[in-house]
Amino acid sequence: MHAGETRIGGPLVRRLLAEQFPRWAELPLRRVRSAGTVNALYRLGDDMAVRLPRIADGSGDALKEHAWLPRLAPMLPFAVPELLGLGTPAADYPWHWSVVRWLDGDTPAPGAPVDTRQLAADLGAFVAALRGIDLPGGPASYRGTPLAAVDAETRSAIEDLRGTIDTGAATAAWEEALSAPAWTGPPRWLHGDLMPMNLLVHDGRLTAVLDFGTLGTGDPACDLIPAWNLLPATARSVFRDAAGADDAGWARGRGWALSMALAQLPYYRTTNPVIADNAEHVIREVLAERRGS
C-alpha cells in the first residue's frame, strides 16, 4: 500500500518473539486479514495479537500507546487494547512493536442491519469520555490542529479526483468547513482515527476501540468522523447529542471526514478497496448532508 513499506511475514514475527518474548514463541501464529493501513496484525495463540508497523510513519505508535493507554483505559467506557509487551527494534526489523490482548468482536460496516441509534449513542459516549479526561502532558495530535493545516493537501486531492466526484460541491463543502469557528478551548484528548476498522461491535453495541496510533490532544472535532464514515443520517443526531458537539465542532468534524476521504480515495483506490469504498461513502454522505441542510 505504501512506498518503502517493510515486508513482514510469519518467520520474521517468530524470530522477534523468540528473541524478545520466548515464553510466547511457540504459540500458534496466524496472519489476520485487515483493512488497516499502518500495522500488520498476527493472532498469537487464542488471546493475544502481535502488531508491527509497516511504515516509518507508524514507528512511534507502539511507544505512545504503551505510555498512555494504561492511564487512559480506566477512564473510558469501552475496552481498548491491553498492552502485554513492548517489542524493540532488531537486526531485521527497525521499529518498536506490540503484543496486545486479543479483543473479540466484529468491525462494523455502513449499512449493516444493526441498531444504529444504539451504536451512535455508544460512539458518542466514547468520544465524550475521551474528550473529558483531565490528564495533562499528552502529545499533540496532528488531527487536533485547525483544518487550515490540511487545506493544501485537501485541495490537491480534490483536483486528483476531478472527473470522479463533483469537485465543485466538494470544494464548496470544504470551504464551508474551513469557515467554521475555530476551537478555542484547551487541548482535549482525541483518538484521531475513528474509522470503522478501528471499532469492534457485538449485537450492534460498541465493545472496543482499537489502534490509538493517532492518539493525542487538541481540537476533538476529528473524533466526530463516524457520523459520516459509519452512521446513517437518521442516527447522526443521537451521536452528536451523546458526543456533546456544538454547531462549530460538527462543521469541523464534517470537514475532517471529508478531507480524510478525499485523500484516501485516490491513494488507496487500487491497493485497499475497503478504505477506498469507505472514502467514496463518506464523500457521498457529506455532500448529501450539505445539500439537505
- Chain-centroid distance, C-alpha 291: 27
Residue 82 in domain: yes
Same domain, 93 and 127: no
Domain co-membership, 154 together with 55: no
Residue 143: CATH number of its domain: 3.90.1200.10
CATH number at residue 53: 3.30.200.20
Residue 107 lies in a domain: no
pLDDT tens-digit readout, 16-40:
999 999 999 999 999 998 888 899 9
- Cell 466514547 belongs to 126
Same-domain status, 66 and 156: no
Domain match, 97 and 222 both: no
Alpha-carbon separation of residue 79 from 86, 168, 176 (angstroms): 19, 41, 35
Quote the Cα angle for 44-200-204, to 5°.
Answer: 140
Q: What is the CB-side half-sphere exposure of residue 274 using CA atoms within 13 A?
A: 15
Average pLDDT by stretches of 10, the chain with 293 residues: 86 97 97 90 97 92 96 98 97 96 92 81 98 97 96 96 95 97 96 96 94 97 98 96 98 98 93 94 94 73
Whether 162 and 246 map to the same domain: the answer is yes
164/206 same-domain check: yes
Which pLDDT tens digit goes with each residue over 156-189? 999 999 999 999 999 999 999 999 999 999 999 9
Do 189 and 138 touch, CB atoms closer than 8 A?
yes
Domain count of the fold of the chain? 2
| Burial (CB count within 10 angstroms: exposed 0-12, middle 13-18, buried 19+), residue 84 | middle
- The answer to whether residue 173 is domain-embedded is yes
Is residue 2 assigned to a domain? no
Total-model pTM: 0.95
235 & 95 share domain: no
H helix intervals, the chain: 10-20, 61-72, 116-131, 151-160, 167-178, 226-229, 233-243, 247-268, 273-292
Task: Output the nine-digit C-alpha cell for 145.
Answer: 490542529
Q: Which domain holds residue 19?
A: 10-101
Within this chain, do residues 130 and 225 fall inside the same structural domain, yes or no?
yes
Q: Are residues 31 and 158 in the same domain?
A: no
* 193 belongs to a structural domain: yes
Indicate whether 134 and 187 sit together in one domain: yes
